Amino acid sequence: MTIIADRLAELNIVLPSPAAPIAAYVPTVEANGMLYVSGQLPFRADGSLITGHLGVDYDVEHGRQAAERCAIMLLAQISAALGGNLDRVERIVKLGVFVACDSHFTDQPKVANGASELMVAVFGDAGRHARSAVGVPVLPLNAAVEADAVVAIRPA
Amino acid sequence: MTIIADRLAELNIVLPSPAAPIAAYVPTVEANGMLYVSGQLPFRADGSLITGHLGVDYDVEHGRQAAERCAIMLLAQISAALGGNLDRVERIVKLGVFVACDSHFTDQPKVANGASELMVAVFGDAGRHARSAVGVPVLPLNAAVEADAVVAIRPA
Amino acid sequence: MTIIADRLAELNIVLPSPAAPIAAYVPTVEANGMLYVSGQLPFRADGSLITGHLGVDYDVEHGRQAAERCAIMLLAQISAALGGNLDRVERIVKLGVFVACDSHFTDQPKVANGASELMVAVFGDAGRHARSAVGVPVLPLNAAVEADAVVAIRPA
């Protein structure tokens, strides 16, 4: 096993089959050593989607779990793009985290930490990324969180 | 004519004059072989803007058409940046699509397809991109959709 | 003093201590000659945060000032990443500006100009950037504006 595959196993993280795009686009594009990953939704291991608006129906912890699942979906897409070899990840460069919430919910950073902390747990210092986290009124399929990524990768 | 100019003609797409920025920024910046394109609003061929909130005043099809116009505005900006030669587009790398809607509208992916499908119709495989699509409560000038892009380009 | 340090002094801009991330991420990541800067909130020189929703509690000018403070926070982070030498900035490539507002407020471009005009004042032509500006229902800590950036930098 590779280094990151070992780490995933230690963390008991099983990468799901990467989600097919809902629409007319592709999950990842590589250009000039950077991998751009499409916005991922928080599908659970059983394939169900974590939905809802934070601050109305659900609390911060619900959002954190959703963000963590988005991060796992990002990993699944990155792994698929790299032929299964996550050791080619040089750096998680940037995460964009969109949190579905009402206009009084201001804990987007705590929610987004669910994704950020997973990246650091998996990649160590290479998982430390720049980030933006903002509130939005609604997301595709009523998802609670959506996250996209820019990743620096090593040549195959 | 160049290859992509031919394709645009076959698709009956006439590129408009690229919109001047509403404000203190520029339409495109090239850096390290990547072209960053500012968020574009859905101006029709007659110069009017497609406005409104989806899920309230308007339906998915209104949004799809708006997203397609955003994509055409992106093409106009990319063309202007490349001296009119869209054959220098190596890959449409990433689209960011923001959909003005109420908090119950969850068909952002179908709306954003209006932009995504146009890119594939024009560029073929080179038009297949990563994408994020999210809902927002409102956009500049009450536009229905805004889209920005990152594009990999070949040297002149 | 360096060229940009001189310019900052002429403009009476004092860079604050860069804000520590609220959460599990880092302020900046450099990859392939590009610096990705995390979303910055509009902290005033006294450390207080500019908050509120535009179109409800506050007007465009409040938002402009908030966007300008976001830009100053971006400069502080860029400066820290470059060991204090802002002359290594080759180009401000892209700003993403998120404006907290109600669903009838459509002056996001005027608000975002507070950030854009500051970049041009500081860097001249190298400060002219691509930009997206969108409305959002709410931001972390109830901030009025959040802005992130992509910056092309020269080797040290």
With an 8 Å Cβ cutoff, the interface of chain B facing chain C consists of 21-29, 31-32, 36-39, 53, 96, 98, 100, 102, 136-142, 146, 148
Burial readout C33-70 (b: 16 or more C-beta within 10 A, e: otherwise): ebbbbbbbbbbeeeeebbbbbbbeebebebbbbbbbbb
Q: Give residue C105's pLDDT.
A: 97
Please give the span between the terminal C-alpha atoms of chain B, in angstroms, as a whole number. 17
Check residue B27 and report its DSSP letter.
Answer: S
Q: Give residue A1's pLDDT.
A: 58
pLDDT tens figures, A23-37: 689 999 999 999 999
| Interval A55-61 mean pLDDT | 91
| Interval A101-127 mean pLDDT | 96
Q: Give residue A19's pLDDT.
A: 79
Q: What percentage of chain A has pLDDT greater than the value 70?
A: 98
Of A24, A36, A138, the CB nearest to B103: A138
Q: Are A108 and C142 a contacting pair at CB < 8 A? A: no
pLDDT tens figures, C71-130: 999 999 999 999 999 999 999 999 999 999 999 999 999 999 999 999 999 999 999 999
Q: Give residue B56's pLDDT.
A: 83
Please give the span between the terminal C-alpha atoms of chain C, in angstroms, as a whole number. 17
Complex-level ipTM:
0.94
3-state helix, strand, coil in chain A (%, to 5): 35, 30, 35
pLDDT tens figures, C26-78: 999 999 999 999 999 999 999 999 999 999 889 999 999 999 999 999 999 99
| Interval A92-120 mean pLDDT | 97
Q: At what angle do helices A108-123 and A3-10 cross, to 10 degrees?
A: 120
Residue of A nearest to C143 (CA): A106
Q: Does position A101 have pLDDT exceeding 90, yes or no?
A: yes
Q: Give residue B57's pLDDT.
A: 82
What's the pTM? 0.96
Q: Give residue B89's pLDDT.
A: 96
> How many of the other CB atoms lie within 10 Å of CB of A89?
22
Intervals of chain B under pLDDT 70? 1, 23
Residue A46: enclosing H or E segment and its boundaries?
none
Q: Give residue B1's pLDDT.
A: 58
> How many of the other CB atoms lie within 10 Å of CB of B31?
20
| Interval A139-153 mean pLDDT | 98
CA distance B11 to B27: 25
Q: Give residue B18's pLDDT.
A: 87
**Which residue out of B106, B110, B118, B119 would a mutagenesis test of the A interface target, given it has the greatest number of A Cβ atoms within 10 Å?**
B106
Of A103, A116, A136, the CB nearest to C23: A116
Q: Give residue A20's pLDDT.
A: 80
**Are the CB atoms for B81 and B28 separated by under 8 Å?**
yes
Cβ neighbours of A105 in C, within 8 Å: 138
CA distance B141 to B42: 10
Of C103, C109, C150, the CB nearest to B137: C103
Q: Does position C1 have pLDDT exceeding 80, yes or no?
A: no
Domain boundaries, chain B: 3-153
| Interval A6-17 mean pLDDT | 89
Q: Give residue B98's pLDDT.
A: 98
Ranges assigned E (strand) in chain A: 28-31, 34-40, 89-100, 130-136, 145-153
**CATH domain A3-153 topology:** 60s Ribosomal Protein L30; Chain: A; (3.30.1330)
| Interval A68-77 mean pLDDT | 96
Q: Does position A77 have pLDDT exceeding 90, yes or no?
A: yes
| Interval C11-17 mean pLDDT | 89
Q: Give residue C156's pLDDT.
A: 84
Among candidate residues A69, A89, A90, the one with its CA nearest the CA of residue A144: A69
